[in-house]
């Protein structure tokens, strides 16, 4: 067991922030994707609420999944990697007592932190119209409930605000200040449209800022260099791989259906050897051989002993 693995998930996330700026946080929809992201060199992972709804349940991101749905995906991911996992908990699934329960269960499941948002319970995607917010004080109460629940002081409570698109920049900055005063560890201002807006949020609060680099939304796909220039601490890619995987899967399905063979789609596919390498197949096989080989050796020895008698 390494020294790093002895640290809490929250501590590992905070440590990663000191190594890389902005810290690239890669969205992973399942345990295998987490292994791929780790192989690619990422230092932190993300579980998207939309990812759970879309990939695990075939549902739109409209508050249709439950805490248990998310916990299942968290446990699967944290069971195969020690990379810290940031989790989207939307609006927290209920009142203050429920949010308190959510935080305790996520810590037990191995998550490193969460972001909690200020939309109403019937939330919408942050990059679509029609969003509605709770009052600043109600969001502060949500944060208080989350902060009160954490048994690990390093577990990250990140405040997400969707206020820019709904109430304008000035009110969004006021909310950010309130969330900082309430005790939020980090800030996630959603659906920003200009690089300079990140600088303004950074001047308003002394919290690490997260920039959501989701594709096909209202936020331009800024580079890490651009984000670093305005003080952004984290760059999030929530569903990048999932979108590419889905497009590739549809292409393969269509090719086989139309051509009666997958031959033309082979260049898109991961080989069997590449799959086994990610899964450390040989390590598992060696363990099986060791166990059964040892048992066979013991049986032979016992047989020889009986024959000697």
Which residue ranges are tagged as binding site for substrate?
A: 48-50, 125-126, 160, 190, 212-214, 243, 272
Return d(Cα 52, Cα 66) in angstroms, integer.
Answer: 10
Is 251 marked active-site?
no
Q: Please return the burial class of 282, using the count of CB atoms within 10 Å of its CB with bins 0-12, 13-18 and 19+.
A: exposed
Three-state SS for 211?
A: strand
Return d(Cα 199, Cα 205) in angstroms, integer.
Answer: 10
Round to the nearest angstrom and report the end-to-end CA distance of the chain. Answer: 45
Return d(Cα 49, Cα 195) in angstroms, integer.
Answer: 25
Is 46 marked active-site?
yes
Return d(Cα 278, Cα 272) in angstroms, integer.
Answer: 10
Is 57 marked active-site?
no
Identify the sign of the CA torsion 13, 116, 221, 204. negative
Three-state SS for 183?
A: coil
Is 32 marked active-site?
no
Q: Which residue in the list 117, 154, 162, 197 is annotated as catalytic?
A: 117
Strand order in the sheet with 186-189: 186-189, 156-161, 113-117, 85-88, 44-47, 23-27, 234-237, 210-212
Q: Which residue in the list 30, 33, 61, 185 is annotated as catalytic?
A: 61
Q: Which residue in the list 38, 73, 90, 118 is annotated as catalytic?
A: 90
Q: Which residue in the list 12, 179, 212, 237 is annotated as catalytic?
A: 212
Q: Which residue in the list 73, 185, 190, 197 is annotated as catalytic?
A: 190
Return d(Cα 85, Cα 180) in angstroms, integer.
Answer: 22
Is 72 marked active-site?
no
Q: Which residue in the list 46, 179, 198, 237 is annotated as catalytic?
A: 46
Q: Please return the burial class of 298, using the count of CB atoms within 10 Å of its CB with bins 0-12, 13-18 and 19+.
A: exposed
Q: Which residue in the list 125, 154, 197, 237 is annotated as catalytic?
A: 125
Could you give the angle at the alpha carbon of 53 between the alpha carbons of 85 and 125, nearest 5°?
90
Q: Which residue in the list 160, 179, 185, 198 is annotated as catalytic?
A: 160
Q: Which residue in the list 11, 38, 42, 88 is annotated as catalytic?
A: 88
Is 68 marked active-site?
no
Binding-site residue positions for Mg(2+):
88, 90
Binding-site residue positions:
48-50, 88, 90, 125-126, 160, 190, 212-214, 243, 272
Return d(Cα 1, Cα 128) in angstroms, integer.
Answer: 45
Whole-number Cα distances in Å, 180 to 74, 75, 78, 134, 215:
27, 30, 29, 17, 28
Catalytic residues: 46, 61, 88, 90, 115, 117, 125, 160, 190, 212
């Amino acid at each position: 067991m390494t020294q790093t693995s002895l640290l809490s998930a929250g501590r590992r996330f905070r440590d990663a922030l000191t190594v890389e700026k902005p810290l690239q946080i890669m969205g992973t929809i399942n345990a295998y994707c987490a292994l791929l992201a780790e192989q690619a060199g990422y230092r932190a992972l993300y579980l998207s609420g939309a990812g759970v709804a879309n990939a695990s349940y075939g549902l739109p991101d409209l508050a249709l999944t439950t805490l248990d749905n998310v916990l299942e995906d968290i446990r699967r991911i944290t069971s195969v990697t020690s990379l810290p996992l940031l989790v989207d908990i939307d609006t927290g699934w209920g009142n203050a007592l429920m949010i308190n329960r959510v935080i305790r269960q996520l810590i037990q499941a191995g998550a490193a932190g969460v972001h909690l948002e200020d939309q109403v319970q019937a939330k919408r995607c942050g990059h679509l119209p029609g969003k509605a917010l709770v009052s600043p004080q109600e969001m502060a109460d949500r944060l208080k409930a989350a902060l009160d629940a954490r048994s690990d002081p390093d577990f990250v409570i990140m405040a997400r605000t969707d206020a820019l698109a709904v109430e304008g920049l000035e009110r969004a900055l006021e909310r950010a200040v309130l969330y900082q005063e309430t005790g939020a560890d980090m800030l996630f201002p959603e659906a920003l449209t200009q690089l300079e807006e990140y600088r303004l949020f950074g001047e308003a609060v002394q919290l690490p800022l997260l920039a959501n680099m989701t594709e096909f939304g209202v936020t331009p796909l800024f580079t890490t260099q651009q984000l670093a220039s305005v003080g952004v601490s984290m760059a999030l890619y929530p569903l990048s791989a999932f979108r590419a995987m889905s497009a590739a899967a549809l292409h393969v399905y269509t090719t086989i259906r139309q051509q009666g063979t997958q031959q033309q789609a082979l260049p898109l596919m991961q080989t069997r050897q590449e799959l086994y390498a990610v899964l450390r197949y040989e390590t598992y096989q060696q363990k099986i051989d060791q166990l059964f080989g040892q048992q066979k050796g013991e049986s032979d020895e016992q047989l020889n002993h009986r024959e000697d008698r």
